[in-house]
Amino acid sequence: MEKRVADLWVTEYQTKNMRLGLRIKEVLCNKDTPYQHLLVVDTLEYGKVMLLDGAIQITEKDEFTYHEMMAHILMCSHPNPRRVLVVGGGDGGTVREVVKHPSLEKVYLVDIDEEVINASRRYFPSVSCELDNEKVEIKPMDAIQFIKERKDFFDIVIVDSTDPVDFAEGLFKRDFYSDVFHALRQDGMMIAQTESPFAEADIVKDAYNEMSKVFPIVKMCWGAMPTYPTGMWTYTIGSKGPDPAKPLRDVPAKTKYYSRSLHEASFVLPGFVVQLLKGEEGK
């Protein structure tokens, strides 16, 4: 008798008209947390993958492109980044990159869902490998409340959030950016992941506009992120003074995506994105 092989797939519905499917070898974790549905699968194409509420958060194969951009753009353009806050990012990838910088004294990881942190420790050791670093302090709580309680405290805030739905929706609004502004020190900077200009143009534009109402300097950069919708991802930066487009130093450890030249090039936006931010799309 011919041996039959199960054909198992996990599918992310990225928009109502677009989806990404990956063939899986094994389901490793499938549970509801107090905040969301958590799924970890081992895939043939991208290795282990974590999904929250059906949306891909990280894969073993491409996570470095996202985490290196989230961490090093600001860590390399801030004059002296000593105290850093990571909002969300319970997988630990952004923290892993932040602690590569010798100027760092403390990084606070604030993720509301402790189950995400636990799952990353178990299934993604190469991503969560610095969560026990002595410079890391983990706070499983609401980041909005955590920020409200701190004024003039952080040099850098990195908003490594999920998509702007449910409990994460407030992380894309002016009120939150204002709280971050007050939590930052005099030369402080923030960066937030702000989705794809192809799949979520309104989110990209709105996040940029909302941040521009708070910060004197707002710039956008972009990079590749293969398993996120369309593979093109944006990062929006608010600064109290330093120019995020001008790196002051090279990253102090080996990277697979980020470099000084890529840092500078990432701020060269395609024409359609420039038009989008100016409200001239379609003209």
Residue 173 — very low, low, confident or very high, per pLDDT cuts 50/70/90? confident
Rounded to an integer, the average pLDDT of 221-232 is: 98
Closest among 155, 39, 165, 168 to 107, alpha carbons compared? 155
Task: Judge whether 255 is annotated as a binding position.
Answer: no
Describe the crossing of helices 201-212 and 174-183 by its angle, rounded to 10 degrees.
50
Specify the pTM: 0.94
Q: How far apart are CA 233 and CA 223, in angstroms?
A: 5
Catalytic positions: 160
Assign 101 to helix, strand or coil. coil
Task: Judge whether 113 is annotated as a binding position.
Answer: no
In this prediction, what percent of the chain has a pLDDT beyond 90?
A: 88
Task: Judge whether 91 is annotated as a binding position.
Answer: yes
Q: Which domains does the chain have, with CATH numbers?
A: 9-58 (2.30.140.10), 63-278 (3.40.50.150)
pLDDT at res. 280: 75
Q: What is the pLDDT of residues 42-70, one digit of tens each?
A: 999 999 999 999 999 999 999 999 999 99
In this prediction, what percent of the chain has a pLDDT beyond 70?
A: 93
Task: Judge whether 59 is annotated as a binding position.
Answer: no
Q: Which of 57-66, 70-79, 179-188, 250-259 has the lowest mean pLDDT?
A: 250-259
Q: How far apart are CA 161 and CA 57, in angstroms?
A: 10
Task: Judge whether 161 is annotated as a binding position.
Answer: yes
